[in-house]
Amino acid sequence: MALLGTLKGFGVTEIFQLISQQMKTGSLVLSSSKANITISFENGIIVGIASDQWERDPRADVLLKADCIHEKDLKAAIENEKKNSQSWHEILISKGQLKKIFLDRASNVVIKQTLLEVFQWREGGYKFEDWNTEQQSILSCHIPTEGAILDTLRIIDEWPTIKQKIPPVDYCPVTIIPITEELVRHHDLSEVDLHIYDLIDDKRTVEKIVRESLEPPFEALSSIVRLMDIGLVEVFPEGATDVRDTSIARNLFISRIRKAALYVVLALCILGISVIGQPRVLKEIIPGEIKNQIQHQRVLAERFSAKLPVPSATNTDSYAH
Amino acid sequence: MQGAAVFTGLLPVRAIGDVPLSWPVISTFLGNSYFFVIATTLLSLFLVGICLLFKYTPLMLNDIRNATNNDLPESGIIAWMIFIFSVPLFFDVGPMILLLWWLLLLWGYMIKTEKRIMYFFLFLILISSWIAHVGAGFLTYTDTQVNRQIYTSERGLADDEDIQSIASWIRTHPADAEPLNTMALHELGRANYGEAIRLLNLGIDLEPNNARYYNHLAIALHGTGKSKEALKAFQNAITLMPGNMVYHYNVSRLYQSTYNFYEGEKAIAAASGIDAEGVRHLLDRENALGKTRYIVETTPLTRQLSRQMRPSDGLKSSADALWSFSFGLVPRKMSLYFGLGLFVVLILMSYIPEEKFSKQCSRCGKLYYSGSSTKYGNPMCLQCSWIDTRVKKQGNTILHHKTEEIRKFKTLSYRKLIRLEMALPGLGSLMSHRTGTAVTRITVLSLSLIAIITGGDFLVSFIPVETNLFMIIRILGVVCLGLLILRAYKAPPIRYGV
């Protein structure tokens, strides 16, 4: 059975949801102008991802950027792949040049990045075949589909908040306060937050920390922002760490000035605006014209009540009542 | 020409119970109703503004905190926010400008249904000049267009000052026919028929289709002994308004005075064909008085009401005062441009991306920026949106955490919302995005408060009315408020366990 259509009519989340709920096994091919991505499902669980844009295993690039492997080791491993009928990562692990945990983390980064990309597609097509297509470049994983959906949706929701606070990628984060258990408990810091904090060493740039953390970029960046918000970390331009102490002192001073200025400017604004404007609350609230009119009506009413009885009573006529 | 006085009379005043349906009473009643509606509307809008302020300022605070990278102390940000929201208070502006300022500041946070309130408010601003004009028409009813003098003069209540006012008005406003007619009636009462005829002819020249003027002209002509001309004038009145019993009755009196009993009976029969009971009453009254009397007509109520709405300096000044009392900032004549300008501002503001403003998910209470919305337009985070659209609602371990979050938020919200709803009916509903219910409850609350505070007593009828409805209105306001609070308790904004 094949499922075929466009993403305009049926969104990616709906397709994933359907496959998950029906506990289907097969391959979903999502195609857009950017890439064709194949996602394998087994009983409704994501078991593999592949993209036609991957020239080689994307984990290799992630690991290279994270300095977890060396380029020449990787090349050698790739060359030996056919000879040993082993994959490059198996060769590197067997040689002790790569830790399995790093490979798993790299897989996690690639999969989450790919899913995040796919979930934001609004145009394109999809095709689901209820058998698994054999693809060599498929990246194996085991991710509950609903978990992946919720996680990706959370990232899309929170991204605008994080985006505006992300420091320049070439800046170096610097720890200001040593982390304690109490701080972890108080600010409910996650494992990722602690991992990122551990990577901060005055020399690594934001970009490097994100890469070396082997965490999905969104998670790593949110952790940096979170640590900055709490006040555990500050960022400085690269190479300026030697002036960190003076910079911190200056920042502290500027911060105090800023705080004082906040109140001073507010007070000046209130004073200025009070002088320029003429607050109505200090004048009569109801205009004189309105008061006069109503007063005039009351005076007339008194005058006429003294002058005559009720008009209806002046006439004994009743036919028109 | 002066002769023996023609005896004239008025038709009896219509009344409901003891309340005469005369112009001052009707005008006051309409004016009070009008001001009651306007005051309720404005108070409702203002209360909605306060509720929106309560709902969205925490989100705004969150955004400012984010925008300033948490560098500034929260107390400082709050102080600035209070200042920004109260900026209009530093100027000579009314409560509606304050409300407008709040709505503009909160525009980006408002959901679709709440934005409709802003559109309604904008429409109100566009027509505010006209609303103020009508309000001023009711407010100045004793002062403009010599309306009061016309009324008192026609009923023999006028003093010399009133008569002089009418005379002066006639000199300065020669194209106004009604005071000419009133003055003519005054002259008729003084048996000064020549002057009455002159004034009525002037009036007829201005309004040749006014049957009332012909009726009065006929009476004045009869006073000078010109019965033929009088009959012709009566016939003109009948031609213009054949369904008016008074003219036929007056014709019958004219025939009777010339001893033409046959024609007199015919005219009485014609009058009886229109209003037999009325004719019987007039004849009985005439018998009781023992004199032949002609019926003169007072200025119709609708005419008096339309006259009081005519533009004049006094009315304009009062309308300006009313507008300035509610709005201010710009003159009333600029209100239309002001409204259009605001419309342009709203269009420009709609270009600000939605993700610049944080929102709170109506299901789980999480703050988010992108998100989605429910089919009713309520904000919802993408996770809840996805959970909401799932075909099968069965739970599993992955969803358990999220559904637990939703359940907890609902439990916490229930207590909070019910307290808010009891404190200010409508606030809890607005917090739970039930804008329709919120607006209804706030409107009923405003109505009750206005009824209790004012008793509907905005304007005063210069003709005394014995019946006093103000206390009844106040009691009704209290009852209405009680029922509203009971309703808020019985039907909370969200139902527990659903």
Residue % of chain B over a pLDDT of 90? 58
The Cα-based distances of B363 to A147, B366, B370, B382, B426 in angstroms read: 19, 8, 15, 11, 20
pLDDT for B129 equals: 95
Whether residue B365 has pLDDT greater than 90 = no
CB atoms within 10 A of CB A226: 21
For residues B160 and B60, membership in a common domain is answered with no
Out of B281, B308, B335, a domain closes at B308
Which one of A151, A153, A154, A294 would you mutate to disrupt binding with B, by most B Cβ within 10 Å of its Cβ? A153
Residue B7 in domain = no
CB contact under 8 A, A279 and B92: yes
Residues 6+ apart with CB under 8 A from A163: none
Whether residue A125 has pLDDT greater than 80 = yes
Distance from CA of B376 to the nearest CA of A (A): 20
Distance from CA of A252 to the nearest CA of B (A): 10
Residues 6+ apart with CB under 8 A from A116: A152, A155, A156, A216, A218
Contact B407, B395 (CB under 8 A): no
Find the mean pLDDT for residues A9-31: 84
Range in A79-93, A126-140, A150-164, B264-278 the model is least confident about:
A126-140
User: Judging by DSSP bridges, how do beta strands A125-129 and A139-144 pair with one another?
Assistant: unpaired
Average pLDDT for chain B: 88
Find tokens 């040689």 and name the residue.
A95
Whether residue A316 has pLDDT greater than 50 = no
Find the mean pLDDT for residues A137-151: 82
Residue B299: phi and psi, rounded to 5, are -65, 130
Half-sphere exposure of B424 (CA within 13 A, CB side): 19
Mind listing the pLDDT tens digit for each residue in B121-135? 999 999 999 999 999
Cα(B400)–Cα(B392) distance, integer angstroms: 14
pLDDT for B441 equals: 96
Whether residue B60 has pLDDT greater than 90 = yes
* Number of independent structural domains in chain B: 2
Range in A169-173, B274-278, B456-460 the model is least confident about:
A169-173
Whether residue B287 has pLDDT greater than 70 = yes
Q: Is B267 left (phi over 0), alpha (psi -120 to 50) or beta?
A: alpha
Residue B83 in domain = yes
Q: Name the residue with higher pLDDT: B41 or A60.
A: B41
CA A38 to chain centre: 25
Whether residue A314 has pLDDT greater than 50 = no
Residue % of chain A over a pLDDT of 70? 90
User: CB-based burial of residue A177 (10 Å sphere; 0-12 exposed, 13-18 middle, 19+ buried)?
Assistant: exposed
Whether residue B15 has pLDDT greater than 70 = no
Q: Which of B381, B385, B396 sits opposite A146 (nearest CB)?
A: B396
CB atoms within 10 A of CB A248: 14
pLDDT for A80 equals: 82
pLDDT for A313 equals: 42
Find tokens 């097509």 and name the residue.
A125
pLDDT for A190 equals: 87
Count of residues making up chain A: 321
Closest alpha carbon within chain B to A299: B462
Which one of A253, A266, A317 would you mutate to disrupt binding with B, by most B Cβ within 10 Å of its Cβ? A317
Contact A44, A22 (CB under 8 A): yes
Cα(B76)–Cα(B98) distance, integer angstroms: 22
Cα(B51)–Cα(B424) distance, integer angstroms: 9
Element (H, E) at A235: strand A233-237
Find tokens 């002062």 and name the residue.
B143
Per-domain residue ranges of chain A? 2-160, 165-239
Distance from CA of B24 to the nearest CA of A (A): 10
pLDDT for A305 equals: 79
Nearest to B162 by CA among B462, B466, B465, B458: B462
Q: Note down the domain range covering B103.
A: 19-137+320-490
Mind listing the pLDDT tens digit for each residue in B341-352? 999 999 999 888
For residues B365 and B443, membership in a common domain is answered with yes
Q: For the complex shown, is ipTM > 0.90?
A: no
User: In CATH, what number is assigned to the domain containing residue B302?
Assistant: 1.25.40.10
Q: Is A171 helix (H, G, I), strand (E, B) or coil?
A: strand
Residue B430 in domain = yes
Find the mean pLDDT for residues B370-398: 73
- Work out the pLDDT band at B411, boundaries 50, 70, 90: confident
Residue B349 in domain = yes
Find the mean pLDDT for residues B156-183: 92
Beta bridge partners of A50: A38
Range in A308-312, B147-151, B230-234 the model is least confident about:
A308-312
Cα(A121)–Cα(A144) distance, integer angstroms: 21
Nearest to B435 by CA among B119, B121, B116: B116
Buried b (16+ CB within 10 A) or exposed e, B135-155: bbbbbbbbbbbbbbbbbbbbb
Q: Name the residue with higher pLDDT: B495 or B456.
A: B456
Range in A101-115, A305-319, B89-103, B180-194 the model is least confident about:
A305-319
pLDDT for B183 equals: 94
Range in A182-191, A267-276, B304-313, B320-329 the model is least confident about:
A182-191
pLDDT for B18 equals: 65
Whether residue B319 has pLDDT greater than 50 = yes
Whether residue A189 has pLDDT greater than 90 = no
CB contact under 8 A, B15 and A312: yes
- Work out the pLDDT band at A311, boundaries 50, 70, 90: very low
Find the mean pLDDT for residues B114-118: 93
- Work out the pLDDT band at B317, boundaries 50, 70, 90: very high
Dihedral of CA A70/A73/A79/A85: which sign? Answer: negative
- Work out the pLDDT band at A320, boundaries 50, 70, 90: very low
CB contact under 8 A, B67 and A164: yes
For residues B417 and B336, membership in a common domain is answered with yes
pLDDT for A321 equals: 28
Contact A258, B71 (CB under 8 A): yes
- Work out the pLDDT band at B177, boundaries 50, 70, 90: very high
- Work out the pLDDT band at A76, boundaries 50, 70, 90: confident
Find the mean pLDDT for residues B79-107: 94
For residues B298 and B178, membership in a common domain is answered with yes
Give B-chain residues touching A287 at CB under 8 angstroms.
321-322, 324-325
Out of B308, B338, B368, a domain closes at B308
Beta bridge partners of A235: A173
Closest alpha carbon within chain A to B143: A293
Highest mean pLDDT among A1-5, B3-7, B289-293, B296-300: B296-300
Check residue A170 and report its DSSP letter: T
Contact A138, A36 (CB under 8 A): no
Distance from CA of B291 to the nearest CA of A (A): 17
- Work out the pLDDT band at B370, boundaries 50, 70, 90: confident
Residue B39 in domain = yes
Residue B11 in domain = no
Dihedral angle computed from the Cα positions of residues B304, B308, B313 and B314, in that order, rounded to the nearest 10 degrees: 110
For residues B130 and B193, membership in a common domain is answered with no
Find the mean pLDDT for residues B68-82: 86
Whether residue B409 has pLDDT greater than 90 = no
For residues B379 and B482, membership in a common domain is answered with yes
B203 to chain A, any CB pair closer than 8 A? The answer is no
Nearest to B298 by CA among B30, B23, B15: B23
pLDDT for B408 equals: 83
Range in B47-56, B78-87, B486-495 the model is least confident about:
B486-495
Closest alpha carbon within chain A to B155: A311
Cα(B369)–Cα(B359) distance, integer angstroms: 6
Check residue A35 and report its DSSP letter: -
For residues B362 and B263, membership in a common domain is answered with no
A270 to chain B, any CB pair closer than 8 A? The answer is yes
CB contact under 8 A, B69 and A294: no
Angle at B157 between CA B156 and CA B161, to 5 degrees: 110
CB atoms within 10 A of CB B461: 24
pLDDT for B498 equals: 46
Cα(A227)–Cα(A230) distance, integer angstroms: 5
Contact B132, B332 (CB under 8 A): yes
Contact A235, A167 (CB under 8 A): yes
Range in A86-100, B21-35, B75-89, B100-114 the model is least confident about:
A86-100
CB contact under 8 A, A298 and B460: yes
CB contact under 8 A, A321 and B15: yes
Whether residue A317 has pLDDT greater than 60 = no
CB contact under 8 A, A150 and B402: yes
For residues B52 and B175, membership in a common domain is answered with no
Residue type, B404: E
CB contact under 8 A, B91 and A277: yes
Distance from CA of A231 to the nearest CA of B (A): 9
Residue type, A81: E
Chain A, 248-267: which have a CB under 8 Å from a chain B CB? 255, 258-259, 262-263, 266
B18 to chain A, any CB pair closer than 8 A? The answer is yes
Give A-chain residues touching B356 at CB under 8 angstroms.
160
Query: In the A/B pair of chains, how many CB contacts fall below 8 A?
Result: 189
Nearest to A297 by CA among B34, B154, B32, B131: B32
CB contact under 8 A, A290 and B325: yes
Mind listing the pLDDT tens digit for each residue in A251-284? 778 878 888 999 999 999 999 998 888 888 777 7
SS3 labels along chain B = CECCCCCEECCCCCEECCEECCHHHHHHHHHHHHHHHHHHHHHHHHHHHHHHHHHHHHHHHHHHHHHCCCCCCHHHHHHHHHHHHCHHHHCCECHHHHHHHHHHHHHHHCCHHHHHHHHHHHHHHHCHHHHHHHHHHHHCCCCCCCHHHHHHHHCCCCCHHHHHHHHHHHHHCCCCHHHHHHHHHHHHHCCEHHHHHHHHHHHHHHCCCCHHHHHHHHHHHHHCCCHHHHHHHHHHHHHHCCCCHHHHHHHHHHHHHCCCHHHHHHHHHHHHHHHHHHHHHHHHHHHHHCCCCEECCCCCHHHHHHHHCCCCHHHHHHHHHHHHHHCECCCHHHHHHHHHHHHHHHHHHCCCCHHHCCEECCCCCCEECCCEECCCCCEECHHHHHHHHCCCCCCCHHHHHHHHHHHHHHHHHHHHHHHHHHHCCCHHHHHCCCHHHHHHHHHHHHHHHHHHHHCCCCCCCCCCCCCCCHHHHHHHHHHHHHHHHHHHHHCCCCCCCC
Q: Name the residue with higher pLDDT: A252 or B5.
A: A252
For residues B131 and B276, membership in a common domain is answered with no
Dihedral of CA A279/A281/A287/A292: which sign? Answer: negative
pLDDT for B444 equals: 97
Q: Name the residue with higher pLDDT: B257 or B81.
A: B81
Closest alpha carbon within chain A to B63: A161
Find the mean pLDDT for residues B178-190: 92
Give A-chain residues touching B92 at CB under 8 angstroms.
277-280, 283
For residues B324 and B359, membership in a common domain is answered with yes
Residue B144: phi and psi, rounded to 5, are -110, 155
Give A-chain residues touching B392 at CB under 8 angstroms.
21
For residues B468 and B422, membership in a common domain is answered with yes
Q: Which of B278, B382, B460 sits opposite A156 (nearest CB)?
A: B382
Find tokens 């989340």 and name the residue.
A13
Whether residue B11 has pLDDT greater than 80 = no
pLDDT for A240 equals: 63
Residue B262 in domain = yes
Chain A, 185-224: which have a CB under 8 Å from a chain B CB? none
Highest mean pLDDT among A14-18, A138-142, B165-169: B165-169
Highest mean pLDDT among A97-101, A316-320, B111-115, B408-412: B111-115
Residue A55: phi and psi, rounded to 5, are -80, -35
Check residue A320 and report its DSSP letter: T
Out of B254, B277, B308, a domain closes at B308
CB contact under 8 A, B13 and A288: no
For residues B286 and B150, membership in a common domain is answered with yes
Whether residue A312 has pLDDT greater than 70 = no
A122 to chain B, any CB pair closer than 8 A? The answer is no
Nearest to B40 by CA among B341, B485, B446, B484: B446
Nearest to B354 by CA among B103, B52, B110: B110
Count of residues making up chain B: 498
Give A-chain residues touching B11 at CB under 8 angstroms.
317, 320
Whether residue B326 has pLDDT greater than 70 = yes
Chain B, 346-405: which have a CB under 8 Å from a chain A CB? 355-356, 358, 366-371, 381-383, 385-386, 389-392, 396, 398-399, 402
Mind listing the pLDDT tens digit for each residue in A193-233? 898 998 888 778 888 898 888 888 888 998 998 888 887 88
Dihedral of CA B151/B153/B157/B158: which sign? Answer: positive
Residue B451: phi and psi, rounded to 5, are -65, -45
Whether residue B373 has pLDDT greater than 70 = yes
Whether residue B112 has pLDDT greater than 50 = yes
